Structure 1
Amino acid sequence: NPGDKQHTISTIVKVVSGIDEKSLVNISNLYKLIVRDVCLSSSIEVAEAAKLLENIQRDVNIALMNEIWSCLTRLDISTDEVLRVASTKWNFIKFHPGLVGGHCIAVDPYYLIEKAQEKGIVLPLVKQARVTNESIIFSLYRRILQILQFPNEGKRVLIKGLSFKPNVTDLRNSKVPALKILLEEVGVLVDVYDPLVSREQAKEAFNIDLSRIEEVSSVDYNLVVSPYDLSITTNP
């Protein structure tokens, strides 16, 4: 789990399976050389379905938070404070709103959706979570424009973060470039700051020039946006 100092290679339980008993034993013994514990699954299908479920569960819960964020912002209620208060309850599962990218959560649900469709099975909740999380970028875009107020031309916005999640260099399925394009199409001047991502990587992947700003000074911008939790900070 890149960027996670607690759940490292050696501490994460490794799910293993195989095409037969011999391969299961061999792969299990191999992983035991580098991880503390392995979980044996009876078939490759079970192992794959478990991985899909893990990521789909997060996708669905983030979709719920994104939907709530969209609602609460229109009601002028702080989502952060609502989450803080709700988290005092023992049975509350804490997820945060945010743009969903990466190579797992934003991808795995489609594997199960396609397999289910082959068998004539409908997964409406899984599908809707994908729709919600793919479209949240437009809700964030509209919220930014609402705060900037018309006219948009010449207004400056700083997006803090280019990778698909905090504290990693992975750019796969990052939604930030699309947000940048949407804002620039209506005349907003957009800079992106991410000290972990190399200039070359950003330029090659998205034609984004990270060298424009060496240090962040939020006073130079009308708004500072965090794509990871959909937070927006304003300047006078």
Structure 2
Amino acid sequence: MPKAFMFIIMAIFLACTGQAVAGCERTAMTTARTEVYSEAPVFVTGKGWMFGSTVTTLPKGTAIRVCDEKKIGVLFDKRTWFWIEYALGAEEGNGWIFSGRTDLSHLTAPAARKVAASVGFYLIPAAHAQGVDDGMPGETGTSNLTATIVYSLAFLAIILGMVAKTVYDMLGDGRSFVLSDVLRNLVRSFVVAPITYLAFLQFGQFSVVSDANVIVGICFAFQNGFFWQTVLERPSPAAAAAV
């Protein structure tokens, strides 16, 4: 029984260590000077892209090991980031880098994979396919489609919230559904929406880590529109006289 127990423990240990090694078996090379960050970037409304602290800066042609990857962004504007291990002389470390400044093309060669699995870091031939640098999020000159998507959906949700409040009040008061009233309140919503939108950006900051966060943000913006309509609504003269 003790031998069988020890065998099971040894098997589990080997399986765990094998997964740890396999997790960083992919190798790549930087195709441009790039920063290594302690955390993956996060988009925060009202602030933009927020990055972790800079761990180091890797020069072009640095060999790295890719341990994990993550899609950062929302909907159809997502870019891949790598969690990597690097070695610069005696300095070794890990962190997140933008995948657009790395080259993984040599992974298609079985011999290269065999060498990588046996010795870890290795020299990559100078002739290699360049990685595609489609622009790091938040970088000057790079289109920030994530911000456009988030802010546009939030603005639309605020307006819909204001219109929904109007329809809700009409149904609650037993009034008939009049198209002219709805259109009039829609125009009012467009006039008031920028004020509510500015308040939403200043005080309703939230982090966009996944598409689910976008849905939560849209619901929050809708809620702001629904209740700001109540705050900004002036009482009618008849109601004011009754008070």
What TM-score, normalized to structure 1?
A: 0.24
More strand per residue: 1 or 2?
2
Which one has more relative contact order, counting CA pairs under 8 Å at least 6 apart? 2
What TM-score, normalized to structure 2?
A: 0.23
